[in-house]
Structure 1
Amino acid sequence: MSQRTYFQLWADVQVELRRLLDEELPAEPLRPEKDRVVFFQRLATFYVRYIQTLRQLEEAYDLMVHPQKRRLVRQILDSVMGRVLELKNEMVEKEFSEYHYMDDVLHDLKLTPAELEIPIPRYFLRERSKEVQERKAMVADLLKMVEMNESPEPQAVKHMSPEEAVRLVQLAERARQGCLRAKLNVECRNMNRMYRTKDSGAADMELAATCIQKVWRSFVSRRRTKAERQEEMFFLGMIMDPKHQLPSPAETTAQANEACTRVKQEEHEEAYQKSIEVVTNQLRDMEGHDMSKTMKEQIRQWFIECRNATGVFPDYPDEEDGGSALIFAQKNPQQLMEELAEKEVAANNKPKGKEEKKEKGKKDEAKDDKEEEAAGLKMMPSAFLSDLEEGHKTFVDFWQTRDESENFIQRHEVELIKEEKRKVVEEEIQKQVDEQMRQELAEWKLSVDKDKGGKAKANAKKKKASKSGKKKKKEKDLTADRTLESLCQELVEQGLLKQADRVRLQDYLGDYSYLGTTLRQNDIEPMPSLSDVRQVLSLYAVLPLGSQSVHEKAPLVKAMLLVGPSGVGKKMLVHAVCQETGSTMFDLSPLNTAGKYPGKSGLAMMLHLVFKVARLLQPSVIWVEDAEKMFYKKVPKEEKELDPKRLKKDLLKSLKLIKGEDRVLLIGTTKDPLSADIKSLCKMYSKIILIPRPDYGSRYILWKRLIQKQGGEVTEALDLSSLAKITDGYTPGHMVQAIQSVLTKRRILMQTSRPLTAVEFVPPLAKIDPVFQEEEEALKNWYAKTPLGKKRIKAATGKEEEEAGKGKNTKKKKKKK
């Protein structure tokens, strides 16, 4: 498609975005909604519409060439991603569930379930491809070095005499000949039996010919019928025509055009960066002197006005307050002096102790009163709606009506660069002017206000002392003298830094849950599908790790726990998150850390190393396999020597130090959460994701895709529906085991003469124990004891409203007292 098409797509997205902003930020504030179902319906509708907007914006950004347009689209794209995460967080808090079912919303908007899939922006990896490849190469080299150092010495070849060698060859040859002789004997015996059973009478030639004709005609008719059936299926579009399975000329042309577009993006970006440097230098040389001159004149005029108004020269604003930027604001000298005086008074007279508590109590009472007045559900304030409005305003003001008929190649706009960089140059010059004018003001004060010079110095000392007293203690760096490469090498040698497997999130197969809304309407809590799990991982892990701005402003998720039976794909999801975001992977599993860095000091050093390197190589994922071992109620005897609970306290402390700017995520996986203390486990992991065994739709897709991936052919002889039906309770891991045992190299070669059938997969499946209903019910009951599960039960039984009512009554009584 042409660049005009992508610009039109962007314009259409902005129209939809304007509608969403008008609905979310109306002129008159909406009344609180008392009906929880209606409120959730509104949230779900916004959520689905924002996902549609996100998908279109991602497509426009991926193939746009104009560098300045791409920057604005990227800003809007990140804001839309953040808004989707905010709506997801709000839906979780209102519905008390990590999984949501929006069949009715999709039906109202006339969308398919596939359009509810969270699109993962391609720029996560494409714009960091060099960096990601360098990290992978570094880790791979370190792993090779470790393997070389740890590889055992080759065993010495035992010397053998010629006699012994000849004897060994003779034994092998005699064994081979014996096997062949036995095989020939069996074949001869079978042939003799066949001849004995034959009728000694002469064969009737006519009966033989008739028999041959019947067989041949039936074969020909079957072949003709099969060909006609295939033609009909091709015509109806039920089967893909083999000639269409190969890429068509149009597809190859589109791929070539896309590659050319990528090259143009890089060329235009390089030209844009060079132009920024040239324009910035020109502004400094051409306009820098005039800017500093006008600033100095305005500041001197302000000095004189303040002197005339108050009789004293003013104090120069600090850099923290903005410096001379406060002076250039449209305010009188008296107003500026009053503001500065108020700030000093507020800093010196802070309420302490009981006064603080009284003020907090008053604020809490005011909040309670407001909540009582506006009883109902309201949407939470957003950190991204202002950015969306700003981006939309920039689009409308500059790009919507801009004539680009002469800019067919989509090069950058020099005037735009000048406008942006003029502000940057002004800020640079402002800092230089501030330093000069502070000195000049001090000289004026010394020459005119000699009597007050000592006081000014004393005030300056007090300010410096107060500033120095506000400094917070920084975290100690135990490895300040070491390089990043040495730290990575040590972590690789200890097995804590690992290479993630090449798995994508789209490889985690699963179908949409079509009956979720219906079951919930009948007060039945449905088990989520594997498609829902994939969607939740995209929201909580992939999108925040992929974008820095989204991670800083969106609801922060520091740790999440994946709970499910063995074989549902927990480990695969962890590796997929690392691959989708280009994250560095660390392994802090109890079994992996056993015996490493002994003692308290060693434990502190290990966690310091991991979290320091994770911040330096962010985005990073810290994986804890068998997370329940860290929170055992009672440690088994065979694991006491491993000390699996040694990381329990220190890991939680290190986790609390992660801030919004640190793209570090802790992911734990467990198949036996019942053996862990649920309170301490929930303290560590704020998000708990329950992964079920696959439903019928997911099993059907899994069987089809996994067989094809292993080299098998899905034909009419293979009844996938029956195979999916009888494998209820089997996980994707069990299916992979069965497929690998059946589809050997020899069986793959025999498919043309003997197609695959469902019966072949039954024997290997019979040797595997499935996930029984009791185990799944035990996991559901355990999840009901988590904080979110308890809230869900209270909301379902109506206890939450009773508790809220009791809380309000007690508050009223306290107020009356």
Structure 2
Amino acid sequence: MSFDFNYKFWVGTKKDIEDIIKRQNILKRKEPISNPLITYRIFSELYVLYVELVNKLSYVYNYTFQVQKRKVVRPLVEAAVRRLMELKTELKNLELSEYVYTDKALIARKLNPYDLVIWRSPQFLYRRPPELQNILYENRIFMNEEEKTAADKKDKLILSEAVKLIQAHERARSARVYKSAIKYDKRNLKVFQRRKVHYSFTYKPDQPMSIPVKRTMFNADFVKPNEHCKYLVGADKIERKSKDEIDEDELNRIRNEAALKIQLAWRAHKSKKILKKRHIFKQTLYGMRTKRRLIKPNQYMDSVMETYRNEKLKIKLDEDFIRLMTDERTRLLQERSPWIMEDISDHIRAWFKEFYDKVGDFHPYPDALKSGTVLVLIDETFSPEEFKEKLNEMNLSKEEKKKRAEKAKQQRKKEKDKIRKEKIKEAKRRKKMKEHGIFDIAYDMKTNKNILNIEKTIKQYSIDWRMIDEYLNKNHEAIKDWVTEGELAIIHRELRALVDEYMRLEYEILRKALCMDLNKKYKPQRHKKGKSKKKKKKKKKVKDMTADRTLESLYEELKAEGIIEKCEKKTFESFISDFNFVADDTRDEDHLTTLGPAKGDIKMVVQECMLGLGEFTVDKPKSLCIAGPLNNGKKLLSQIIAFEIDAVFMNLSPEKTQAYSNEDLNYLMHVVMKVAKAFQPTIIFIQDVHRVYWKRIPKEQEYLNPRLLQKVISTKILKAIKKEDKIMLLGTTDAPWSAKPKMRRVFQKSLLIPRCDYGTSFLLWLEVLANYAGDDSVDDYVYSALAKVFKNYNSGDVTDNIADTLDVRRRMKLKSKPLSPFEFLSNFIGRNPPIFPPEEKLMEKFQKWYQKANKLSIARRKFFKKKEEKNKKKK
């Protein structure tokens, strides 16, 4: 986008932040709320506002290049994202569900559920170092001149080989056409079959194919028997007059009739086509037919490349900024350092004089460990009056000093105990309030760190930037005055430490002279030495099995063995699904949703997990399990996650690990985790993860050794993933009940993909069928009929059916033979065995497992159980 647009967008975003702060300041004065409906409404309104704010701030952060402004925007985005996740957690706890519905808040803002999508790639992409980016992708964005030259040479070699191959195929094609030419006698209507020719096939790597080349023999009999065209079959037996025997008038008449028939047929075809187009146009104009929106080609990779180009510009600006700081520091040291040192020493001497004039003694020289005479500047030293009191205390006896010290100690202890008791009392009060369904929103708002960070940052921005016109800085140059101030402060602090060393000598000379005047014994001031840090127990260093190997070689090894896979270009648009639009209207007496989620709702939960794998540090689950019936989009969703965050996709399914033995397992895990941490974000994927935790291994699956990873998943993978790592274990399963209960404990979050509802089915048929057949080939009623009949079918089965039914031959006939919905029905039913939607018993099985695996589902079950017990007691 242009500089003007980005500037205006930032101004608008700043106003939105100020509006949210005003709203939160009002809530800070609100009394505790006992009605959960009001609490839910407040949180949902704030959640919708923060979703809009995060989306705007993420765009601003992505297109902010000025170095000093980036330091302002980043804390805002990070605090806003964290606050957003806190609000979502609160809403989930109120809903007792992973899926949250805020329809009323959306209606008030004139939005729809699609606007609540948080993930906006590539705004949230994690920035890898340039050298790792060059290993992963063969692009030239971060290459130096030598690497670019080597890549150019390689490209030229590949191009020359491609040209040779094209020439070889083209000459072979020409030879094939030449040899398969058919001689045809027009007068006698005879076809002369060619003679068989013996071909010799020769080909060398450095030469194109020679001619002739052995190719497929073609049959010259193109005429098919047709009872309406008998004169074409056996044309030799039909007596026909030759051209010489017919007079010129008769010949002209025959020609005119033939031309007339051809013209009539062509005009009729053309008229039908025009009439059909007009009919479709009228239907569209009257609103009887609407143009369907197809899936647009995704520009994700272009966006990613643009992001990395922006990163390169940011790197350049950072380098310029560091250069400016270095130059400014050198200049200041050369020009101002003598005067700065003189000013510091004059200030310290004035401090000496002030104390001598008022007290008749000198203040102890501030210790170097406590920043030296910087304490004088920030008023951390004694005032003359306080110093007098201190001197009087020194004249007291040891017993009195001890009593005063004990008294002060007791006072401090009392204050600490009082604060601790108040905190415990407050915590108990809040816990009791929460148990009774009372929410103290005002307290949460006042103590929330993320809210305070946003307020502090935007306030500081309004102070620092009030005199700067950002619109004039179109080249994103750093503000030099601020650099000078910053470097001056650093130089001043460094020079003060140097001046303090010399001024301590002068201080001791003055004290010595004072002692001589007062006939006192001179004792030099003792200086505190830095405490030696306690030696920490040395942790046992883990032996690096691949210390002599480069990251690139390890990456290539995993890639060659098929563990690192290339993800297909799949985005969230590829996961065609619709949201549940009626769940909010069907709440029970406890204000809990009674209808289950639609297939589109799972996108929102998945995207929340992805935020922690992006640029900003947000809490995320270390492991995620996606369950659902076979062919329901689990693998597709896994590929979407990996592609959207631009992650390295490591497949540790039993098919990939069967080649490894128990002895090789430690080495495999070491390499996997080393590469995963180096090239993060990383997705460690296990397909059909229930096989790893199988209760009983089927005989036909024993050769895979599926339980190989069972012991190491917790110890070697999950334990090695730290909070700040952008790594996630992702598993899919279509039979989770066949696994041990241990599997539920391994995965922090479990999700169940619901089966298709009418909305999802309609969108699926609309998008996929329109892509295959086009808008005009399918009538509107067909989509609705198909969606209604095949409502509960899995999305994978539907897409496979469309691909099989609308093959190339059938698509060629669409204009002459319209598409019928029964063709898709026959494809489902006519197979052996026929395909049917998932049974109710199967879905109930999935639901039972999900209620045991998902934490919020467990909480909901407990809530209803308690409610039943209370109702029984009342009866």
- The TM-score with structure 2 as length reference comes to 0.68
**SS of alignment partner, residue 467 of structure 1:** coil
**SS of alignment partner, residue 38 of structure 2:** helix
Could you tell me how far 1:745 is from its partner in structure 2? 1.8
In 2, distance between residues paired with 1:758 and 1:238?
A: 20
The correspondence of residues 298-697 of structure 1 with structure 2, limited to 5 A, is: 315-317=367-369, 329-332=378-381, 367-372=427-432, 376-378=438-440, 382-399=448-465, 402-403=468-469, 407=472, 410-412=474-476, 414=478, 416-420=479-483, 422-423=485-486, 426-427=489-490, 430=493, 463-464=531-532, 466-469=533-536, 477-521=544-588, 525-541=594-610, 543-547=611-615, 550-551=616-617, 554-596=618-660, 598-599=662-663, 602-640=664-702, 642-653=704-715, 654-678=717-741, 680-697=742-759
CA deviation string 1:268-309 (max 9, x = no partner) = 874574255124421342157366776688789999989998
Partner of 1:253: none
Q: Is the 8 A contact 2:652 2:686 kept in 1?
A: yes
Match of 1:735 among 791, 798, 818: 798
Q: Is the 8 A contact 2:751 2:850 kept in 1?
A: no
Could you tell me how far 1:521 is from its partner in structure 2? 3.6
Gaps of 5+ in 1: 140-163, 193-214, 248-255, 339-344, 350-358, 804-817
Could you tell me how far 1:333 is from its partner in structure 2? 5.5
The correspondence of residues 45-444 of structure 1 with structure 2, limited to 5 A, is: 45-61=45-61, 68-69=68-69, 72-124=72-124, 134-137=134-137, 187=226, 226-236=276-286, 270=316, 273-287=319-333, 289=337, 315-317=367-369, 329-332=378-381, 367-372=427-432, 376-378=438-440, 382-399=448-465, 402-403=468-469, 407=472, 410-412=474-476, 414=478, 416-420=479-483, 422-423=485-486, 426-427=489-490, 430=493
Deviates more, 1:515-524 or 1:654-663: 515-524
Q: For the structure 1 residues 32 and 132, does the alpha-carbon distance in structure 2 shift closer, same or farther, using more than 3 Å as the test? A: farther
Q: For the structure 1 residues 713 and 278, does the alpha-carbon distance in structure 2 shift closer, same or farther, using more than 3 Å as the test? A: same
Gaps of 5+ in 2: 140-195, 200-213, 232-264, 297-301, 391-404, 410-418, 513-520
CA deviation string 1:655-709 (max 9, x = no partner) = 234233221122121111111233x223221111211122111111111212244
Could you tell me how far 1:721 is from its partner in structure 2? 0.8
In 2, distance between residues paired with 1:649 and 1:512?
A: 39
Q: Does 1:775 align with 2:838?
A: no
Q: Does 1:792 align with 2:860?
A: yes
How many aligned positions are there? Answer: 709
**SS of alignment partner, residue 621 of structure 1:** strand
Q: For the structure 1 residues 800 and 451, does the alpha-carbon distance in structure 2 shift closer, same or farther, using more than 3 Å as the test? A: farther
Q: For the structure 1 residues 165 and 565, does the alpha-carbon distance in structure 2 shift closer, same or farther, using more than 3 Å as the test? A: farther
In 2, distance between residues paired with 1:69 and 1:689?
A: 40
**SS of alignment partner, residue 317 of structure 1:** helix
Q: Is the 8 A contact 1:86 1:382 kept in 2?
A: no
Partner of 2:808: 745
Could you tell me how far 1:120 is from its partner in structure 2? 0.7
Q: For the structure 1 residues 2 and 606, does the alpha-carbon distance in structure 2 shift closer, same or farther, using more than 3 Å as the test? A: closer
Q: Is the 8 A contact 1:510 1:697 kept in 2?
A: yes
Could you tell me how far 1:720 is from its partner in structure 2? 0.9
Identity rate, percent:
25
In 2, distance between residues paired with 1:398 and 1:796?
A: 54
Q: Does 1:34 align with 2:34?
A: yes
Deviates more, 1:385-394 or 1:620-629: 385-394
Partner of 2:827: 764
Could you tell me how far 1:13 is from its partner in structure 2? 2.3
Q: Is the 8 A contact 2:126 2:613 kept in 1?
A: no
CA-atom RMSD in angstroms:
5.2
Q: For the structure 1 residues 588 and 507, does the alpha-carbon distance in structure 2 shift closer, same or farther, using more than 3 Å as the test? A: same
In 1, distance between residues paired with 2:570 and 2:692?
A: 27
- The TM-score with structure 1 as length reference comes to 0.72
The letter for the 1-side match of 2:328 is Q
Q: Is the 8 A contact 1:283 1:422 kept in 2?
A: no
Q: For the structure 1 residues 473 and 295, does the alpha-carbon distance in structure 2 shift closer, same or farther, using more than 3 Å as the test? A: farther
Could you tell me how far 1:372 is from its partner in structure 2? 3.3
Q: Greater share of helix residues, 1 or 2? A: 1
In 2, distance between residues paired with 1:749 and 1:638?
A: 44
**SS of alignment partner, residue 7 of structure 1:** helix
CA deviation string 1:211-234 (max 9, x = no partner) = xxxx99999997776455433344
Partner of 1:196: none
Q: Is the 8 A contact 2:623 2:730 kept in 1?
A: yes
Could you tell me how far 1:575 is from its partner in structure 2? 1.7
Could you tell me how far 1:430 is from its partner in structure 2? 4.2
Q: Which entry has the higher C-alpha Rg, 1 or 2? A: 2
Could you tell me how far 1:99 is from its partner in structure 2? 0.8
Q: For the structure 1 residues 272 and 609, does the alpha-carbon distance in structure 2 shift closer, same or farther, using more than 3 Å as the test? A: closer
Q: Is the 8 A contact 2:135 2:552 kept in 1?
A: no
Q: For the structure 1 residues 713 and 237, does the alpha-carbon distance in structure 2 shift closer, same or farther, using more than 3 Å as the test? A: closer
In 1, distance between residues paired with 2:345 and 2:719?
A: 47
In 2, distance between residues paired with 1:658 and 1:303?
A: 57
Q: For the structure 1 residues 223 and 314, does the alpha-carbon distance in structure 2 shift closer, same or farther, using more than 3 Å as the test? A: closer
In 1, distance between residues paired with 2:4 and 2:36?
A: 44
The letter for the 2-side match of 1:615 is K
Deviates more, 1:303-312 or 1:713-722: 303-312
Could you tell me how far 1:722 is from its partner in structure 2? 0.9
Could you tell me how far 1:367 is from its partner in structure 2? 3.0
The letter for the 2-side match of 1:93 is N
